[in-house]
Amino acid sequence: MKFFSTVTPLVLAASATYVSATSLTNGYNIIKSRQAKVHRDLLDVCVGLDADLVLSEIIQDGKALVAGHLDVCLCVSLIPDFIKVNVVAQTAVNLLGVAKVSALIEGLINDDPGCQHCTFPEHGQSVCAPDWPCQFQCQDGYSPYTNPGDAHPSSCSCPAPMTECNGQCGNFPNGCGSAVPAPPQRRSRHATFGAAKDINKRQVGESKCPVDKQVCGVPGGNGGWECVDTKSDKESCGGCMTPSTIGVYHPATGKDCTSIPNAVSSSVECRSAACHVSACEAGFVPSAANDACVPVSASPADKRFFNWQEASEAVTKKAKAVGGKRDIVAAANADIRGMVKLGEGAGLVKLL
């Protein structure tokens, strides 16, 4: 009974200590979860590879089989994507499997004397280059910054007068909200002439675009972007007119159908990612492909010259040789003159 009375306080004390420690830990975790998460710099190992991919497990004619030669700048983090598209890697995968080939390529990178341990800053994406394996490009509107005396940039900065807002660098005249701000609506180049634009035709201000639209940059928008249907938008037909700084970089491949020379603006459309012209200004007609306006008549150099006098004399001479009558000769000459006039009116021939 005495033993029980001694042990009980000890057990209760230990339990109280455990409960107190657990409460403190839970409280710490709650506070930690509410704190802002600072993105750490990304670490990677990159190198310009120039080596054979040797499969030592497969012996052929007394030698290890060589799947092929790798001449590419590659980082360890990109190996999973690389082996999906590289022919040499795919050959090796068919023989050894993905895991072993991944390990082989990682070994080539780490064992290469030219490999570099790279630190990529926030907003920086690796673009491995043989002369600088740790090369990166800045996204989200940020610009690369090189410290004085350094050969290469080491961070992505947001230069003045632009400001940062929710992970974006740009101009935010209305302040920074709690979500990714919407860039200004793109203004038509014809806005100074009072042309009304449908401001609701694009979805702007979303971090992702619908599957049927493409993320395009905004001209002069300093990192702004918009969702554009490049299959039907006549100002960005077939692609973006301005590359976007959001996501994967795509060059400007679009065409502004409204800028086609001599085309009637109201008759221009973008059909299936191609400009279509249905009407042109006076003196021009749509081309055979309906993607441009061409002159109505051909140039004088393209016309076929017709000597009416020589043709008439030839008809008369032939008719007399066969004993033709005067009215028949006159009718033939009239037919020739009529055909020539039609051709001349259509821009096909020219009388001498």
Question: What distance in Å separates the CA atoms of residue 291 and residue 268, rounded to the nearest whole number?
Answer: 9
Query: Using CA atoms, how far apart are residues 100 and 207, in angstroms rounded to an integer?
Result: 38
The answer to whether 270 and 276 have CB atoms below 8 angstroms apart is yes
Q: How many C-beta atoms lie closer than 10 Å to residue 79's C-beta? A: 20
Distance CA 298, CA 307 (A): 19
Domain residue spans in the chain? 42-120, 200-296, 304-351
Quote the DSSP letter at residue 171: -
Quick check: helix, strand or coil at residue 127? coil
Please answer whether residues 237 and 270 qualify as being in contact, where contact means their C-beta atoms are separated by less than 8 angstroms. yes
Q: Which residues pair with 120 in a beta bridge?
A: 42
Tokens standing for residue 172: 């935010």
Handedness of CA 96, 102, 103, 104 (dihedral sign): positive
Structure tokens at 158: 């947001």
d(CA 169, CA 163): 6
How far apart (Å, rounded) are the C-alpha atoms in residues 82 and 320? 86
Query: Which residue is it, tokens 């014809």?
Result: 190
Tell me the H-state helices in 39-122. Answer: 79-85, 87-96, 98-111
Tell the residue number behind the tokens 């702007």, with chain if given. 204
For residue 46, what pLDDT is reported? 93
The β-bridge relationship of strands 349-351 and 304-306 is parallel
Distance CA 316, CA 329 (A): 6
Neighbours of 175 (CB within 10 A): 8
Residue with tokens 């441009």: 292
- Assigned token pair, 333: 């000459």
Q: Cα-atom radius of gyration of the chain, to the nearest Å?
A: 38
Q: Is the pTM of this model over 0.75?
A: no
Interstrand relation of 116-120 and 124-126 (parallel, antiparallel or unpaired): unpaired
Q: What are phi and psi of 256, to 5 degrees?
A: -90, 100
* pLDDT given at position 161: 87
Residue 50 burial by Cβ neighbours in a 10 Å radius (0-12, 13-18, 19+): middle
Q: At what angle do helices 98-111 and 87-96 cross, to 10 degrees?
A: 130
- The C-alpha atoms of residue 91 and residue 85 are separated, in whole angstroms, by 11
Q: What is the pLDDT of residue 253?
A: 82
What does the DSSP assignment read for 65-83?
EEEEEEEEEEEGGGHHHHH
277 three-state secondary structure: strand
Name every residue whose Cβ is closer than 8 Å to that of residue 177 and which is 6 or more positions away in sequence.
Answer: 165, 166
In order along its 352 residues, the chain shows pLDDT tens digits of 444 445 445 444 544 444 444 444 454 454 344 333 334 445 889 999 999 999 999 998 999 999 999 999 999 988 998 999 899 999 999 999 999 999 999 999 999 999 999 988 888 888 888 888 999 999 989 999 999 998 889 899 998 888 888 888 988 877 776 444 344 433 333 333 333 333 333 333 444 677 788 887 776 555 567 788 889 999 889 888 877 766 555 667 888 898 899 999 889 999 999 999 999 999 899 999 999 999 987 444 444 444 556 656 665 666 666 565 555 556 555 555 655 554 554 444 444 4
pLDDT score of 75: 92
CA dihedral 247, 251, 255, 258 (to 10 degrees): 60
